[in-house]
Each structure stands twice: as C-alpha cells, then as structure tokens.
Amino acid sequence: MEAIKLGPFVVPLVRAFVALALLGFVLAAEVLARRGPKALANWAWNAVLVGLVGARLGFVLGHLGAYAADPLSVLYFWQGGFSPLAGVLAGALYTLYFFRRARLRLALALPPALVGGAVAAALFFLLSQQARQSERLPGWAFSTPEGTVVSLAEFAGRPVVLNVWASWCPPCRREMPLLAEFAAREEGVVFVFANSGENAETVRAFLKREGLSLPNVVLDPEGRLVRRLRVVALPTTIFFDAEGVAVARHLGELSRASLEDYLRRLR
C-alpha cells in the first residue's frame, strides 16, 4: 500500500506518516504544557510550521534551476518536494531562538522531540519493510492507439519511466507536457505512457487535441498494470532501473524538480 484513501482524497503514505509523527510531537508538547509552562504548546506548533516552511525552502534552493522558469510553482506544495534535513534544522534553530532567554527550559523540548522521532521511526520502519518486496517491470505486450504492439520486455537493460494515466484525470493532463519534454531529451531512459481504462479513439483524440507527441503510448483498457503494480490513484509514475526493478514511485502530479531528482537516481 502506497497511499491512504479518504473518500475522494488520496494521501501518499509517506505524507501520512510525517503528519502522524508531527501530531505525536505536538500532542506530547500539549500534555507537558498542561503540567508546566504554557508556552510549550505555542513553541511546538510554531516549530512544526517553521520546520515545514524550512523543508520546502531547502528543497527549492536545491533546485533553483527547475523553479526559475515558473517561480509560482514554489507554492505548489501538493506536488511534493521537501527536504527533511532542512526542515529539522529550521525547527531546531527556531527552538534555540524560542528558549534563548530560558536555556534551562530547553530540556523540556526533548520529550516531544523523542515522541515525534519514535513515531516516525516506527512508521518508516514498516514502510521500509514493505519496500523490500521490490516490484519488477512486467514484460507484457500492449497495443498502441495506432494498433501496433509494444512489448515492455524489449526495454530490458535500460531504465524505464512508466507513467500510468487517463485523459479524464486533471493532474495527468497537467503533468503530461513536462513528461513529454523530458521523454524527448533524456537519452538512455525509456518513457512509457500507459493509459488505463480508455479505448484507442479516446486516447488518439486526447493526444491530438493537446498537441502531444509521446513515445511508447500503450493501452491498458482492463487495468492490468494497475492491479499488478498496485496503483491506487492516477497519475502514478514508477521508475525502474536497468534491471527492471522499481527504485521509486510518485503518486500524483510530478514537478520539474521532483522528476529531475528521480531521473538522477536512475542515472
């Protein structure tokens, strides 16, 4: 399982785990604030906010080139892109500032931090155990919108970026020009665009209407890849190394910076 479904909303598991760890941190501080200094609660909430902003800024600063073309995309936090190290550092610096006039109370920040860290460690340990069961790119054959046949087995020995999408999916449509750009310029990496649940006419009409030129567009009307690769929502992009083993997956719309990061891992 890579995500949690809450009605029409899909929350990636990693983000849910981070939220639970931060919740444990804040609740521990709230409990201590009821028995001790009331300011502890304010410190905890502010530390979380500063940490999240710091994590985002840390990621953006590390990918300035990707954000330069569209500065407003810095605000598209739903696309992902946070630096955990920068977030922890920002929270720690804020903590030192908050307790600058009462250094003896700095020790009170330790229990909430330990609670949050313990929750995060336990949850991400479970996630790492699940990740050990590596997914492999199936060597199945699919029809293209033009009626030819493409076998995924023919891409053996090369890294593969597999994007599972549908024309009715708004995030799929938004990220498609970005994926098309990278597919045209990345040498040595194969991009496969697997349409899920739609027929050839619908896919051809969509690509023509959007003016998209994509390599390796394949049709999966019965959703075989969705079931095999445990795709819970669209779009989902899975990155396979040259041996056909999944090294990363991204649920939801990709940003330029995130895509560059994933491709760097493949290379």
| pLDDT, tens digit, 9 for 90 and up, residues 95-112 | 999 999 888 788 999 999
Q: Which of 81-90, 128-137, 231-240 has the lowest mean pLDDT?
A: 128-137
| pLDDT, tens digit, 9 for 90 and up, residues 8-56 | 677 788 888 999 999 999 999 999 999 888 999 999 999 999 999 999 9
Superfamily of domain 141-266: Glutaredoxin (3.40.30.10)
Q: Which tokens in the block code for residue 42?
A: 């304010």
Provide the pairing of β-strand 190-196 with 160-165: parallel
Q: Which tokens in the block code for residue 138?
A: 């199936």
- Return residue ranges of the chain for CATH 3.40.30.10: 141-266
What pTM was estimated for this model as a whole? Answer: 0.85
Separation CA 33–CA 144 (nearest Å)? 62
- Tell me what pLDDT residue 25 has: 97
Q: Which tokens in the block code for residue 105?
A: 């109370």
Whether the CA torsion 86, 88, 92, 98 is positive or negative: it is positive
Mean predicted confidence (pLDDT) in 189-218: 97
Q: Which tokens in the block code for residue 27?
A: 């609740």
